[in-house]
């Protein structure tokens, strides 16, 4: 079981805004923020649900190759809301919401590229 994960971003404030907006439909919130004055060299922000940050962004050299992260959605509607929110805040389409039958019959996902080109997905595994 993964406890937490994270990525490096080139523009901390822009990415923080992107993830705050894009992940909100999935129940994620910005839960923790630490600036460079505390760490000594970089800012970081933790996003999660129920008070536990499990996804972190850090100001720094962007991961190469870019990362793919999939966030679980409870409903297909949440997948749509994630996709729409991400596009409104500058995400780029990388796969509209829909079934991905090559994974399994109920795999319903949407993909966007974040400000640094990371492939961010929302996926629902249940039928609606």
Give residue limits of the domains in the chain: 5-124
Provide the pLDDT for residue 41. 87
Mean pLDDT over the full length of the chain = 96
CA atoms within 13 A of residue 88's CA, in its CB half-sphere = 12
Provide the pLDDT for residue 40. 86
| Mean pLDDT along residues 73-81 | 98
Share of the chain above pLDDT 70, in %: 100
Alpha-carbon span 86 to 115, nearest angstrom:
10
Global pTM reads 0.95
Sign of CA dihedral 98, 71, 56, 84: positive
Q: Domain 5-124 maps to which CATH number in 3.40.720.10, 3.40.50.880, 2.40.10.10, 3.10.180.10?
A: 3.10.180.10
Provide the pLDDT for residue 1. 85
Give the β-pairing of 108-113 and 92-99.
antiparallel
């Amino acid at each position: 079981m993964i406890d937490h994960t994270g990525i490096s971003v080139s523009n901390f404030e822009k990415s923080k805004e992107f993830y705050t907006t894009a992940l909100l439909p999935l129940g994620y919130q910005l839960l923790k923020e630490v600036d460079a004055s505390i760490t000594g060299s970089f800012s970081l922000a933790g996003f999660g649900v129920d008070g536990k940050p499990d996804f972190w962004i850090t100001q720094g050299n962007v991961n190469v190759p870019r990362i793919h992260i999939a966030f679980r959605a409870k409903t297909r509607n949440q997948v749509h809301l994630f996709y729409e929110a991400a596009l409104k805040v500058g995400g780029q389409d990388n796969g509209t919401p829909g079934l991905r039958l090559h994974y399994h019959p109920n795999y319903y996902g949407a993909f966007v590229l974040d400000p640094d080109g990371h492939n961010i997905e929302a996926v629902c595994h249940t039928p609606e």
